[in-house]
Amino acid sequence: MRKLLLIEWDKIRSYRAFWIIISLYLFLLIAAVAGLPAFLHYITDKTNASVFMKLFTHLLLGFPDVWQNIAFFAGNRAFIKLLLAILIIILVSNEFTYHTVRMNIISGLSRYQFLLAKVEMILAFSLLSTIILFLSGLYVGFENSRTITIQSVLGNLYFLPAYFTELFTYLSFALMIGVIIRKTGFAIITLLIYLVVEPIIQYYLPDQFDKYLPMNAMNHIVWSVNTADLTFRTPEFNISLQQNISASDVIVCIGYAAVFLTLVWISLQKKDL
């Protein structure tokens, strides 16, 4: 595994576009999470219910609910993570454009090892994003929690592995598009078009099938914000909020990742490199 990752690192470490996009992505991810309190306080100053809004901010971003809420925010459809998906498409499609993959195969790398290297790359990006989200969540949580205990800090932390699963599947989708289409511009346009097309498809499907569409399946692992106070109040307002992670949602998401990677493998086997 380490050898394949080093090969991938050698390919991208001198690529300027990689550093620009990954730096922008990480900056936006950190700024979006760490800046949530300031954003909510700004809204507070513009409303008449400032005391309520300040209390709501502390409830939303304090331990243990901060983990669910930042995972929901960071995993939002076609938001910050779109940059990472575009980066994957650029890195993969460039290998076909400049025949890097052909040179790798000639040098002794098998098609399976090529695929494995790409899977390890998106695993590394997903892990990096999850670590950054964890560190940002610690900062936000400590800043907004009224009482801090080990139990409160670690409570609901399982929403971060859920975010990791969702992001890995999303990047697998981007990898599939990059490998099948192989032209950077067309691949990025395809990704953007699909993000628009799926909601249209959803409109014509029965409601019970909505969550099984690819993007919906990814976003359905963490599908709402929550706080203990909102959980207590929701029966009065008939609002449904997520309480935990559904195993079936995780299985569907992982199933899609398996489908995407299988299609990548079939494309590598059937098409000329």
pLDDT, tens digit, for every residue of 22-55?
A: 999 999 999 888 887 777 666 666 666 555 556 5
Distance CA 15, CA 244 (A): 41
pLDDT band at 108 (very low <50, low <70, confident <90, very high): confident
Contact 114, 104 (CB under 8 A): yes
**How many domains does the chain fold into?**
1
Stretch 79-99: mean pLDDT:
93
Say if residue 64 is preceded by a cis peptide, omega within 30 of 0.
Answer: yes
pLDDT of residue 25: 95
Range of the domain at 84: 2-270
Name the token pair of 29: 């991810």
Q: What is the spatial distance between Cα 159 and Cα 65, in angstroms, rounded to a whole number?
A: 10
pLDDT of residue 183: 94
Percent of the chain with pLDDT over 70: 87
When pLDDT is cut at 50, 70 and 90, the band that residue 77 belongs to is: low
Lowest mean pLDDT among 58-62, 192-196, 246-250: 58-62
Average pLDDT over residues 205-231: 85
Q: Which residues 6+ apart lie within 8 Å of 14 measured at CB? A: none
SS3 145: coil
Phi and psi torsions of 65, nearest 5°: -70, -15
